[in-house]
Amino acid sequence: MADNSRMTPEDFNLNSRLRASDADRDRAASVLNEAMAQGRLTAEEHSERLDALYAAKTHADIVPVIDDLPPAAAVAASLGRTGPTPATKGRRLVAVFGGVSRKGRWHPEPLTRILAVFGGAELDLREASLPGREITISAVAVFGGVSITVPPEMRVIDEGSAIMGGREVSGDTDESAQPDAPVLRITGTCVFGGVEVKRKPRGNGKERSWPLRIR
């Protein structure tokens, strides 16, 4: 495996005009989140850099935002990968000093990325039309929160982490323990924030014929 620890932002000048993807911005955001958790950035600096990051159009715009932070070289190295990856596809929801909400009959993507910074995101999957048997939500909460509501028959697998934050996930039910139950996989990090997954019946008091609607 290549050693990226000796790399500098100058190593990526050849890629500086390459258009940035959502996945590129999300990888760089993880550097900012870690830096704030370590006390290298104040909350105000973190917010200012996030604004610049999500306004970035090219790799050249991203590198100055992170080049004075320890993990930046490894992230910058990853910006040189131009081939498609699974993480480049999906939907991105951003709540910065605000909120986003998805409920009722909506259409989640196989991968949904959420960034909540001093804000909140609320997703309700009970009436959602799923793209397949499994979906992934990658949630990053920094001084913010992400709340996800699932129906009784959905299995939830939490693979995320918390740094001075919290994660609370409802346990399985008889329906969600079935081998062919629909799956919600949660990844991402909480930094002074939280992720909560709660299990509720549908609003009409009646359970939809299992399984969930799959489009």
Judge whether residue 11 has pLDDT over 50. Answer: no
Which pLDDT score, from 0 to 100, does residue 215 have? 54
Question: Which tens digit of pLDDT belongs to each residue from 83-115?
Answer: 333 444 567 888 888 899 999 999 998 889 898
Judge whether residue 79 has pLDDT over 60. Answer: no
Percentage of the chain surpassing pLDDT 90?
21
Joined together, the tokens standing for residue 20 give 């940035």
Which pLDDT score, from 0 to 100, does residue 74 have? 54
DSSP 18-77: SBPPHHHHHHHHHHHHHHHHTTSS-HHHHHHHHHHHHT--BHHHHHHHHTTSTTHHHHHH
Which pLDDT score, from 0 to 100, does residue 89 have? 54
Question: Which tens digit of pLDDT belongs to each residue from 120-130?
Answer: 999 999 999 88
Question: Which tens digit of pLDDT belongs to each residue from 15-36?
Answer: 567 888 877 787 788 788 777 7
Give the torsion through C-alpha atoms of 201, 207, 208, 211, to 10 deg: 80
Judge whether residue 49 has pLDDT over 90. Answer: no
The domain limits of the chain are: 7-78, 90-199
Question: Which tens digit of pLDDT belongs to each residue from 172-184?
Answer: 888 888 888 899 9
Q: Which helix (H) or strand (E) holds 78?
A: helix 72-78
Residue predicted with more confidence, 209 or 145: 145
Most trustworthy range by pLDDT among 81-85, 143-147, 159-163, 172-176: 143-147
Most trustworthy range by pLDDT among 20-34, 48-62, 196-210: 48-62
Which pLDDT score, from 0 to 100, does residue 125 have? 94
User: 37-46 burial by CB neighbour count: b if 16+ within 10 A, else e?
Assistant: beeebeeeeb
The neighbour count for residue 111, using CB atoms within 10 Å, is 20
Mean pLDDT of the residues in the chain: 78
Which pLDDT score, from 0 to 100, does residue 53 have? 84
Residue predicted with more confidence, 7 or 185: 185
